[in-house]
Amino acid sequence: MLSIRNSVVIMVLMVVLIDDTAGAVCHTVQSGAWNVPANWDCGCDPASCDTLVIAHHMTATVGMALSVGYLEIQVNGSLDVAEEFRMLLGCGRALFQGNLTARTIEINAQDSVVSYGTMLCDSIWIRQGRYVNRGELDATEFFGAVGFPGMQPLYNVGLVRTGLCVSGHIIVNEGHWISSRASLNWYYSEGGDALFDDFLLHVSSEIGQAASLVVSDTIRVQQYLDSHGFIQCGTFVNGAVIGTAQTRLYVGSELVCGDFINQSNGFLYGPGSLCISGHSENHGVISAPISICDISLESPPQPPYMDVNTGGFLQPIYYCTPGSCATVGVAEDEALVQMRVRPVPAEDWVVVDLPAPASSLVLRDGLGCLVYKQHGPFTHEARLSRGDLPAGWYAVEVIGGAGAIIGRARVLSLAP
């Protein structure tokens, strides 16, 4: 029978052994299966170690759930998981310089997860921790946790491509963000650019002077939108069923849209510019000073320069034609083919998939000004060189043999 003293000694030894395993640093020594001990210098199950460093190509045929203090994928390393990749609540921090691929990626971190490499997945869930993307994230679905005061923002200074994007986190975008549908609580950008098909803003957003937000369909503001930069969309709706919506256009900012609706609970403030090419309605309040032009109005237009006005407005409201709004706000022909452009963002060149043979291609900047023209003929696709064009958003137009526009790529982003 063991004495109490011997039992205590054994227990102490067990604790020491457990702590030693938990604090171990484990490196890959060769490419291969994740769960094969021979592929790691620790010679054990890597999930039992505290620090994991991947310098080779590792694969997992099943899902994995990690609770490690530190995970690093080095530049030449990669992790390819056939099912889900989960960082559990006990995880400390992670650094991804190589590539991570999985069906589902779930991030829970007590500290931070920083990615310089490429993350590819069907869906990604950011539940806890500070997430910074400095590389490329490509996901069909992006989900951020429900936000609360004190929660770490999600930072992007690289490239994010998603289909559906739903987030309660604060998103800070200083790179490129492309999503088909975005439903966000908080979105901030000082110098980044975003391209959405549809954008629902629940709480608050601020667009900096060097930033741009382009939405091919509809922007819906439920509470606050402050813009110092450039916003373009098909339809802009200020106001929701409940609450109060406030959109502020600061000095030098432009909101360019096809249709504009200021709901009865909507407030629009200047002194920036609102440029409209389609139908416009004001049922709320427009506060002066502000510049508004609706190029579809019959002349002479009267303040507040809306097709329908049942709301209130304060003077002065300036009618800003024939300024830049006359070109920026020109509505697109819905019958035109919306072409595929790749890659996005483009660095040195871009390929445009053509709907039909073309005689030339035209590149226009955010103000609608011609900045580049390339003559054909072209058949199935055309390759455009960036040349010395500055970074920003551009529209590509395809000119047919008869001189008419036959296709358009609504926005093209050129990386710096």
**pLDDT given at position 357:** 87
**pLDDT given at position 416:** 56
Q: How far apart are CA 205 and CA 257, in angstroms?
A: 18
Give the gyration radius of the chain's Cα atoms: 27
Tokens standing for 167?
Answer: 């987030």
Question: Higher model confidence: residue 269 or residue 392?
Answer: 269
Element at 42 (helix H, strand E): none
Q: How far apart are CA 254 and CA 57, in angstroms?
A: 48
Of all residues in the chain, what percent are helix, strand and coil, respectively (each to 5)?
A: 5, 55, 35
Length of the chain: 416
Tokens standing for 106?
Answer: 């779930």
pLDDT bin (cut points 50, 70, 90) of residue 344 is low
Average confidence score pLDDT of the chain? 83
**pLDDT given at position 89:** 84
Q: How far apart are CA 52 and CA 71, in angstroms?
A: 5
Amino acid in the structure at residue 17: L
Domain 337-414 has CATH 3.40.50.720: no
Tokens standing for 220?
Answer: 């819906």
**pLDDT given at position 98:** 95
- Boundaries of every domain in the chain: 1-145, 185-331, 337-414
Tokens standing for 170?
Answer: 């604060």
- Tens digit of each residue's pLDDT (9 = 90 or more) over 68-111: 999 999 999 999 999 999 998 888 999 999 999 999 999 988 88
48 by DSSP, 3-state: which? helix
Tokens standing for 92?
Answer: 């400390």
SS (H, E, C) 337-388: EECCEECCCECCEEEEECCCCEEEEEEECCCCCEEEEEEEEECCEEEEECCC
- Tens digit of each residue's pLDDT (9 = 90 or more) over 272-331: 999 888 889 999 999 989 988 877 776 657 888 888 999 999 888 888 654 444 334 334
DSSP string for 293-306: EETTSPSSP-TT--
Percent of the chain with pLDDT over 70: 83
pLDDT bin (cut points 50, 70, 90) of residue 414 is low
Tokens standing for 248?
Answer: 């502020």
- Tens digit of each residue's pLDDT (9 = 90 or more) over 177-222: 989 899 999 999 998 888 888 999 999 999 998 888 988 889 999 9
Task: Tell me the pTM.
Answer: 0.75
Amino acid in the structure at residue 200: L
- Tens digit of each residue's pLDDT (9 = 90 or more) over 21-72: 445 889 999 999 999 999 999 988 888 888 999 999 999 999 999 999 999 9
> Of 121-130, 307-316, 339-348, 368-377, where does mean pLDDT reach its minimum?
339-348
DSSP string for 251-282: TT-EEEEEEEEE-TTEEEE-SSEEEESS-EEE
Asked whether 276 and 251 are in contact (CB, 8 A), the reply is no
Asked whether 190 and 207 are in contact (CB, 8 A), the reply is no
Q: Who's near 327: CB < 8 A, 6+ residues apart?
A: 367, 368, 369
Q: How far apart are CA 133 and CA 208, in angstroms?
A: 20
**pLDDT given at position 278:** 85
Q: How far apart are CA 284 and CA 311, in angstroms?
A: 5
pLDDT bin (cut points 50, 70, 90) of residue 383 is confident
pLDDT(12) > 80: no
15 by DSSP, 3-state: which? helix
pLDDT bin (cut points 50, 70, 90) of residue 341 is confident
pLDDT(138) > 90: yes
- The number of angstroms, rounded, from the C-alpha of 19 to the middle of its chain's C-alpha atoms is 42
pLDDT(3) > 50: no
Q: Which of 56, 64, 59, 57 is nearest to 80 (CA)?
A: 59
Q: CA quadruple 140, 145, 147, 150: dihedral positive or negative?
A: negative
- The number of angstroms, rounded, from the C-alpha of 198 to the middle of its chain's C-alpha atoms is 12
- The number of angstroms, rounded, from the C-alpha of 345 to the middle of its chain's C-alpha atoms is 12
pLDDT(350) > 60: yes
Amino acid in the structure at residue 367: L
pLDDT(365) > 50: yes
Tokens standing for 185?
Answer: 């609580």
